[in-house]
Structure 1
Amino acid sequence: MGVDRRNLRRVIGASAAVVTALQAGTAALALRTGRRDYADGVWGPGLAAVALTGAALGTGDRTRRWALAALTTAWAVRLESLMLRRLRGSDTEDERYTEFLEGDSTPRVLAKVFGTQAAAQLLVSAPLQLAAASTLPRSARRWLVPAGVTVAVAGAVVEAVADRQKSAYAQRDRDERPDVLDTGLWGVSRHPNYLGDSIMWDGVWLAGAASAPGGWLVAAPAAMTYFLVYATGAKRTEDRMGDRPAYQDYQQRVPFFFPGT
């Protein structure tokens, strides 16, 4: 009972190889086309690839590893559809990347974007890798699996609903839509899509924590939340929108991330 260390090393090695291959392929395309923002398009697929690799090669609890793989893949497919739509909808690189990488050499770009993202994917997916090579205890702790899956599904639903509400808002005529989207989930959190994403990965960690060592991997969901809030998501949106009077009013009325705070 516990972790099959030999199998875990195999899962980790294979996961690292898959992530490296995906990042290298995306980097080659990005540098050739001058669209380094293509990195956004490999985030979801990379995490899904790790989940599927672990499910296929792991010797841990079969139900848990395939349930997490299915959940992660479904999450990644939906996210990828949004990313591809955004990337295809523009002929120029996202200004965030242009500003972030201004003056950088090719090796530095590879390290700052694709190397960093590969490391982040392996960190965030650590509970998936451990779960793939771990059995479940016979104690009540095993109930963390259905609890974690339930939390993850709830988070994925929140994220999907928030994105759909945002899309519906964006499609309305400019003259008819309000200056700020502050209804639905956007009326309880200024960033409900990122909040749902964070909850999704909290659930993945919780399911992995059913096997005793998994509880120590709390840095994985914490890292995902950090990325969503500070690195690529919520704070950047706040900086971009913060000088608009309607958004300043929105900031006064609606919590930043967690409802009720």
Structure 2
Amino acid sequence: MNLDGLLVNLVASAVAVVSVLAVTFAVTVARGRKDTIDTAWGLGFVAIAAVGVVVSAGEPRAWLVLTLTAVWGGRLAAHLHERNSQRGEDPRYTEMAERAGGNPYRHLLLVVFPAQGAIMFLVSLPLQAAAHLTAGLGVLDVLAVVVWLIGFLFETIADAQLARFSANPENKGRVLDSGLWRFSRHPNYFGDACVWWGLFLFAGYHWIGLLTVVAPVVMTTLLARGTGKPMTERRMLSSRPGYADYVRRTSGFVPLPPKRA
């Protein structure tokens, strides 16, 4: 592990996070859409992974991590931008603005964006650590790619299935319970969690890298118990009559065979 390089990387990544969020806030005000941060979320990690390549002077593992992060982050940014462009403001941000009162952009600037930036920096720690490992590519890197690929496929396929289902007017008010959604109520969130466990494995060659396990733990917790699954399900239970039955027979996160009625 190149500790000097890692320390420089931590500082440079913090600057990258602040820069990404500053640009995002400017675009948010210009567009008048508070959910612009959704598009910037994945791109922020791409910027951090790119910092790792630059600071490490192009270590092979840093390039591999950047490639996978760019594929994941680019797809997610494009998907969320297209999805949000086809509907009104995300209810989560509307609720936050209503609770804050006054100027909603002030609340975004002082509360939402700093929290997002702190989480982005924390979750990116495996990317930063992996970029400065001196060990050559090995079996653990292969395992990391496999776990990442499983997660990426789950997330991508689940998002595509949901988009296709939602685009059909006949499905208004109905619950998607086929495809991957038959085995998990949130297969896209499960896939996202797997992506981050895969990226963490790249840092597993050194004890400092192992300490970054806090990153996938935090991400998985947010998806399964934080702003992901719980907020989505509260909204679905109040708007979809069949969702309560879907909850009873379908796994909440990890894909499992559905329960019999």
Report the TM-score when normalising by structure 1: 0.89
Does residue 78 of structure 2 align to residue 87 of structure 1? no
Aligned match of 2:237? 242
Question: Any idea what the Cα deviations from partners look like across 1:61-94, whole Å, max 9, x if unmatched?
Answer: x22211111001001111111121123224x532
Contact 1:11–1:53 (Cα < 8 Å) also in 2: yes
Does residue 178 of structure 2 align to residue 183 of structure 1? yes
In 1, distance between residues paired with 2:34 and 2:226?
Answer: 16
Question: Any idea what the Cα deviations from partners look like across 1:226-256, whole Å, max 9, x if unmatched?
Answer: 2222333211111011243311111111100
Contact 2:133–2:205 (Cα < 8 Å) also in 1: no
Instruction: Give the superposition deviation at 1:104.
Output: 5.2
In 1, distance between residues paired with 2:80 and 2:133?
Answer: 33
Aligned match of 1:251? 247
Aligned match of 1:113? 112
After superposition, the Cα gap between the structure-2 partners of 1:211 and 1:143, relative to the gap in structure 1 and judged at 3 Å, is: farther
Aligned match of 2:72? 75
Question: Any idea what the Cα deviations from partners look like across 1:7-41, whole Å, max 9, x if unmatched?
Answer: 11111111111111110111122234432221111
Report which stretch shifted further, 153-162 or 129-138. Answer: 129-138
Aligned match of 2:131? 132
Question: Any idea what the Cα deviations from partners look like across 1:111-130, whole Å, max 9, x if unmatched?
Answer: 32111111111111100101
Contact 2:65–2:131 (Cα < 8 Å) also in 1: no
Aligned match of 2:8? 10
Residue 38 of structure 1: which of 36, 39, 64 is its match?
36
Does residue 144 of structure 2 align to residue 148 of structure 1? yes
Equivalent residue pairs, number: 253
After superposition, the Cα gap between the structure-2 partners of 1:215 and 1:251, relative to the gap in structure 1 and judged at 3 Å, is: same
In 2, distance between residues paired with 1:36 and 1:172?
Answer: 26
RMSD between superposed Cα atoms in Å:
2.1
Letter paired with 1:237: T
After superposition, the Cα gap between the structure-2 partners of 1:172 and 1:108, relative to the gap in structure 1 and judged at 3 Å, is: closer
Letter paired with 2:256: G
Letter paired with 1:54: G
**Identical columns (%):** 38
Matched residue SS, 1:258: coil
Contact 2:144–2:199 (Cα < 8 Å) also in 1: yes
In 2, distance between residues paired with 1:130 and 1:150?
Answer: 19
Aligned match of 1:20? 18
Instruction: Give the superposition deviation at 1:59.
Output: 5.1
Instruction: Give the superposition deviation at 1:220.
Output: 0.1
Letter paired with 2:65: L
Structure 2 unaligned blocks of 5 or more: none
Contact 1:137–1:211 (Cα < 8 Å) also in 2: no
